[in-house]
Structure 1
């Protein structure tokens, strides 16, 4: 004779099955959630925001959370501490970590921008610009050892200007406060990212007179990177992330500044849409946004030249040591 199972026992069993299933789903969701630490919020990183806004990461089954950390040192500290999974920051920071002998190397796996993103902004708008005008001027620079400052010095040297001898160089202002320091009257010239450069032009504070991106050439200026241990444990997630990024890169490359600005506007709610369009257009015109995530050897070597010229490179680091192009190459081949 078949034994009868009381209804409440059957209900408990069903409830346990549901709880286990829900827990499993939540675990899977958490495994696909990625936290990005970006060095700053900038139009310079438009493809990153497009990937989120257009659902390209979501198509890959990823939930991406972007946190803005002010400065390369803070962004790298967050990555090393595990506060973020992936860092969007200058490739030079991974070299610094390697030079310090880190056991868990920081690996560059997907390039976002391929030129410097700063512009030379002059307070005086009356004269036609000539590089020699910088001599003996007060120059509000960026943090020592950071890519904006190193690329800026590299560009200046091409015009025969030694940043530490020919300028009154100010480097003691925090990255987040550089724009406000210039606005308050500090410096004759300043290095600015967009959209700040366009905002200052609109406000009549001066004008953009040169592009450090154009002057310093192509290099892996801003790269998505993570710890080797994270890659070892999450190869599928890293691949999906790179796939979504590449789709965004292609989208940005094939759309107008107006279309891109409309998509990324939610990330810049306090900015005039016209300024956003101007900023995106300025970056597109000079080829700042990489069209694929591959970090090529020529760009890497140019980065090493820039760092060496700035005296920040102990020894040249071959790309294969801290660059893994496997994910980028797979994404680009699809």
Structure 2
């Protein structure tokens, strides 16, 4: 065999070996359940689309399970490994006496993600304008509703006396109800709030996130037994999220929008970028996955003032920052 043929032969063999090695990389499947699909969770979609999870050897099977109660049921039953949901759900479950404690191990968002949308355009909005109005609120016992009540009370409004408060509509149907004519004001997540502005259905007049301060609004949690059995998976998962959090704050909003657009195919990319920028400006995306004790206490204060806190829970009992601290160094 001539030398050049031998070289080509060896190069071909090398390529086959390299491709085989890449193809044989062992991937660990992780079933993740998100409580809703929202641009509010941009870092999660970035971690998937940019391949951060894949580089950690994790294959993410993502499902959307509307409602915190349903998401937690899936977690407790083993239908999913990790839940992305409000930290308050871990308190509810623990108060009911769970055999396998739930641990919050990585924080994704650190403020409320809802906005106050008015049916009419208001140039100089004041919270007192809500008094006597019909307000389409969020589901009782959920973080959006509790933060909403916390903010209203902060501005001297008793939501159960000063408003015609509607809370009997399923989370997934609230936006549709408002679009159909129910309520003068509504509490909405993005991108729905901005879509309603575009379509002239409503107008964003205030942010509940900027009013309520930092809270562990949306957190990754898992059963204690899962984290004990798969600490390597938890660390790799958290590292991918941290990389995505960095990307969301460091990259132009347009680049972030491009990365997450596959998860919002029916939403215009310019609108996605606008929403990303809005959430970044009020620092709704957590800048690292560490859930600190001050945020935990603020969460319980909000729940307590809403009359929804079963009992105060020790930070150390329900929060594990081992992985978040390690990847944030």
TM-score, normalised via structure 1 length: 0.90
**2:124 alignment partner in structure 1:** 128
Q: CA RMSD in A?
A: 1.1
Q: Are 1:139 and 2:135 counterparts?
A: yes
1:46 to 38, 42, 56: 42
**1:185 alignment partner in structure 2:** 181
Quote the offset at 1:127 in angstroms.
5.2
TM-score, normalised via structure 2 length: 0.91
Q: Are 1:33 and 2:29 counterparts?
A: yes
* Residues 21-170 of structure 1 aligned to structure 2 (within 5 Å): 29=27, 32-126=28-122, 128-170=124-166
Gaps of 5+ in 2: 1-23
Quote the offset at 1:314 in angstroms.
2.3
Partner Cα distance (1:218, 1:104) in 2: 28
Quote the offset at 1:126 in angstroms.
4.5
2:313 to 317, 330, 333: 317
**1:20 alignment partner in structure 2:** none
Quote the offset at 1:295 in angstroms.
0.3
Gaps of 5+ in 1: 1-24
2:283 to 281, 284, 287: 287
How many residues are paired up? 306
Decide which moves more: 159-168 or 37-46: 159-168
Task: Report SS of the residue matched to 2:205.
Answer: strand
Deviations 1:273-330 (A, max 9, x none): 1211111111011000011000011111100100000111122111100100001000
Partner Cα distance (1:298, 1:58) in 2: 33
Q: Is contact 2:92–2:310 with CA below 8 Å preserved after alignment?
A: no
* Residues 203-282 of structure 1 aligned to structure 2 (within 5 Å): 203-282=199-278
Quote the offset at 1:128 in angstroms.
2.4
